[in-house]
Amino acid sequence: MNFFEHQAKARSSSTRMVVLFALAVGGIVLAVDLAVLLLLGTQMGSAGGVAGLLFVSTLGTIAVIGLGSMYRMASLRGGGESVALQMGATAVPEDTSDFQLRRLRNVVEEIAIASGVPVPKLYVMEHEAGINAFAAGYSPSDAAVAVTRGALERLNRDELQGVIAHEFSHILNGDMRLNLRLMGTLFGIMMLSIIGQRVLIYGRGGRSKEGNAILVIALVALVVGGIGAFFGRMIKAGVSRQRELLADASAVQFTRQTTGLAGALKKIGGLHEGSRLTDKSKAEEVSHMLFGEGLSVASMFATHPPLLQRIRLLDPSFNEQQLQQLSARWMASPPDGMQEDLAMGLANPTPSSHTPSSPAPPPLPPLSRRISITPPMVSAQVGTPAEDDYRRAGSIVESLPPELRALAARRESVMPLLLAMLVDDDAAIAANQRIEVVARLGEQAASQAWAVRQQHLGSLHPMLRLPLASLAFPVLRLRPRPELDTFLATVHAMVHADGQVSLFEYCLAKLLEVQVRESLDPERYARFGRRKPGNLKQEFATLLAVVAQSGSDDPVTAQHAYLSGLQRVLPRDHLPYAPPANGVLALESVWEGLDALDPLAKQVMVESITAAISHDGRISVAESELLRTICGVLHCPLPAMLERG
């Protein structure tokens, strides 16, 4: 199953969740009506009175459930960060000196770069001794990854990498969005139970007739709420189990080794703490998004497949007796992940750390290199990083100048750094851009940006620009919202300072704008697309014409590139090659429609863009970066190198 099929399955799971939710609401309403009928029906003198009473109870029950779901969804509008904070997790500083946290940050940065997505916010659940983790958010731009301190202490680097790769599968495949919506809807189902509990707790002292009636109603609400809890757990189990197995499989495909992920699962099964969380109420609510079971539940309500089953899919020879032996050994001497790293020669948790048996990361390709690709080959890599991408990510991080990494890690320098990446090579255009920066952010910010451009970015390898932006993004998100709004206005002004801005610079600016806006209002931009290519003919014609024109000064060659891309997505339509008069700025009208395509239609879209950029079957390093940037804007992340090693 590829990225687009995962997305389509997530969308169908979302529809299935809505249907199950509706059935659960119907069951709860029926139970409430029955309870009302038994308790009060005999007091009504007519059939009309009974019908009115049932109407009021039905409407009230639906209102309670609906308001509960709306309230919970509103509390999750902040996306992944809000979930992490509600779980009591604390943010991991970018400049942390904690050895375990630094190792975590380096693993996450490598995987983010290899996946082609922004580095997520990192959190640690300091007081949780169990081995667990989760990824939460509406999109990669607002994703947060949280791990327990137990995971940091007990897992070695390979095992931690396997766990993080598992969580990145949820980030890439649309699972996070589904999980957040599941949290919101199920909270409404639980509302009656919550209300009943609160009334019983605070209403025990009342002895009046009215007080006794209220306690009876609260008891009924608590019992009926148990029906809601039953349905809620069944829905979570039904939606979550298969996606956890898919995430395990994706993690193995990414890391190309099963020992890390299998080792983490074995430690969960062999250690006393397992994967359990201490706060049962919080663990219940997020159980469907955790790496391992957060609390002990009956198998029919389990949100994850049986642990031994997950291990055997990775290590078929493993059995329960071996798990018991590991448990007995670790009871006497619990594993220490950092000591295991030392034993494997990984004393330094740097991005380039890898096991001695792993091949060295390949060097960055020369700018003159051209690689052979096909549109299906590229679409198959979207959201599907492999082990060679992970090794390349280590090489990319190593190749970034320390000065640039330092700028990306500091709040005061991250905006000038990103603006420097948008400065045009043409002196006249750059002069207009500087005027726009000074008008919005001041002379100091403009001077810093232009200094960074002159000192560091002039000779920067094209493959390092997107990874640098990915590393800078978590720090950028720390700025206050008014500053981010001003930053976006500045980016927009720089791109529109002159219509001659290059396609790559325009798309890089657009990618930054999309990611920042999604991080500011994550729920607003979260959606599963449903549109079809036939309804977006003009959008495709405009995008492919701009891409074709930017790739060749020869109109005939550009037309061939355009037709090559159009044939992929709209083979029966005859749309003439007509480059827009305003060049790249014409793309402002295409992004929203194309981003709303059905997931499987997006696969065809990626193939059409690839065909237009590489109509001769070969692509340069600069062209591959342009392709990665365009696909990033359209939420189809590509790995750092399109050629498989």
SS3 371: strand
By C-alpha distance, which of 2, 106, 138, 165 is closest to 638?
Answer: 2
Among positive and negative, which fits the CA dihedral 245, 135, 288, 380?
negative
Q: Is 167 a catalytic residue?
A: yes
CA distance 578 to 512: 28
CA distance 275 to 155: 12
Q: How far is CA 57 from the centre of its chain?
A: 40
In terms of Cβ atoms closer than 10 Å to its own Cβ (0-12, 13-18, 19+), residue 297 is: middle
The active-site residue, picked from 167, 513, 607, 625, is: 167
Pairing of strands 144-148, 121-125: parallel
Alpha helices in 359-502 (DSSP H): 375-379, 387-399, 402-408, 411-420, 427-441, 443-452, 465-476, 481-495
SS3 317: coil
By C-alpha distance, which of 350, 348, 343 is closest to 105?
Answer: 350
CA distance 440 to 484: 12
β-strand partners of 134: 146, 290
CA distance 310 to 606: 33
**Please, which residues have CB within 8 angstroms of residue 630's CB and are 6 or more apart in sequence?**
507, 543, 547, 609
DSSP 634: T
Sheet holding 121-125, edge to edge: 90-91, 121-125, 144-148, 133-136
Under a CB-based contact definition with an 8 Å cutoff, are residues 168 and 111 in contact?
yes
- Structure tokens that stand for 7 in this block: 């997305």
Catalytic residues: 167
